[in-house]
Amino acid sequence: MNRLSTYLYRRPRLLLAALLVPPLVWFVVIYLGALGAMLINSFYALDSFTGQVVRTFTLKTYAKLLDPINVQIFARTTIMALCVTAACILIAFPLAYYIARFASPRLKTFLYLAVTLPLWSSYVVRVYSWKLILAQEGIVSWFTRLVHLDGLLQLYLGLPVVGGPSLAVSMTGIFIVFVYIWLPYMVLPIQSALERVPKSLIEASGDLGANPGQTFRNVILPLALPGVVAGSIFTFSLTLGDFIVPSLFGSSSFFIGKAVLTYQGTSGNIPLAAAFTMGPIIIMIAYLLIARKLGAFNAL
């Protein structure tokens, strides 16, 4: 034992290898290997006649992505992700601002937990709670009847695109649930960006004659921007890849995640599912590049 210990001590490279090889092999073989497998699969195609995957190089599957239906799916998902991100920013900012600037240390600890707990409590259950809320006989209908706005709700549901047979089956429903699920991911980075705004800077702005509104617009907001962008990376990326929410609250219109799931599952078309997934990956890479330009990575 002693000799082995000394032997390893004298050869740090060997010890390093012993430490590094298992996780490295796992990630390179299993994870990067799987990503590679997806890439390879996206260049295969499904023989529409036999329903079997033909393992020869082709761009046919990628060409399918340009079908109007699929372009529509990409557009619908991206627009939804943008709307969800915008709503998350609007809702998260005041909360993050309050936690960072006004809460006492004790309250801050409490609020921090109050934001992280929903983040960590079960994702499926949080989605499920909205099944209860948006149900026709649920709390939203009860409330709108209580304040006599049920007519207005019906009118809203009658609108094209955002409406639907009920809130539980509509774009608005999907949108609300997405905003709810990803909101904590937006609060935390904004809060941490705001925490880093030096108090002296705000005082200086006031001393130089800016009113609170001007200080907010010209000092705080620009400094909080990296946090906002960092949060938007989460909300955007998570919305792009999700299939649970659209399947539970959507009508028949597909989102990227749901399309991928359906293609690989019922139709066994793994190549098309793989090629489809390259969509969010490319959209995300573009988004990340823009975010890096805006300095978001310093706020993560």
* Contacts of other proteins in 186-205 (CB under 8 A): 187-188, 192, 199, 202-203
Site residues for other proteins, 102-161, by CB under 8 A, read: 102, 109, 111-133, 135, 137-139, 141-142
CB of 239 to other proteins, least distance (A): 9
Quick one: which of 19, 75, 162, 221 contacts other proteins (CB under 8 A)?
19
Please report, in angstroms and rounded to a whole number, the separation of the first and last CA atoms in the chain. 44
Of 111 and 224, which CB lies nearer to other proteins in the complex structure? 111
Amino acid making up residue 155:
L
Q: Select the residue interacting with other proteins from 84, 219, 274, 291 (CB under 8 A).
A: 274
Q: Which residues inside 229-268 make contact with other proteins, applying CB under 8 A?
A: 234, 237-238, 240-244, 247-248, 256-257, 260-261, 264
- Residue whose CB is less far from other proteins, 29 or 161: 29
Query: In the bound complex, what is the minimum distance in angstroms from residue 160's beta carbon to other proteins?
Result: 26
Residues in the chain: 300
Rounded to whole angstroms, the Cα distance separating 216 from 227 reads: 15
Per CB under 8 A, does 225 bind other proteins? no
Q: Which is nearer to other proteins, 37 or 75 (CB)?
A: 37
Q: Which two tokens stand for residue 140?
A: 């939203």
Q: Please select the residue that binds other proteins; options are 163, 164, 173, 184, rule is CB under 8 A.
A: 184
Closest CA to 238 of 275, 270, 273, 280: 280
| Cα–Cα distance list, 247 to 87, 127, 150, 220, 256 (Å) | 21, 11, 26, 40, 11
Q: How far is the CB of 97 from other proteins (least distance, A)?
A: 6
Residues 35-74 that bind other proteins (CB under 8 A): 35, 37-38, 40-41, 53
Nearest 10 degrees: Cα torsion 256, 271, 278, 70: -40
Among residues 74, 175, 178, 185, the one that binds other proteins under rule CB under 8 A: 185
- Alpha-carbon span 48 to 269, nearest angstrom: 10
Residue choice 206, 223, 262, 294 for contact with other proteins (CB under 8 A) = 206
d(CA 266, CA 283) in angstroms, rounded, equals 26
Q: Which is nearer to other proteins, 88 or 171 (CB)?
A: 88
CA distance 97 to 164: 35
For other proteins, the closer of residues 158 and 200 by Cβ is: 200
Between residues 171 and 239, which has the closer beta carbon with respect to other proteins? 239
Give min distance, CB of 226 to other proteins, in A: 14
Residue 113, CA distances (Å) to 120, 175, 188, 194, 249 in order: 10, 25, 11, 18, 29
Instruction: Tell me the two tokens of residue 159.
Output: 């609108």
What Rg, from alpha-carbon coordinates, does the chain have? 25
Residue from 31, 162, 214, 267 binding other proteins (CB under 8 A): 31
Q: Cα angle at 126 between 125 and 130, to 5 degrees?
A: 105
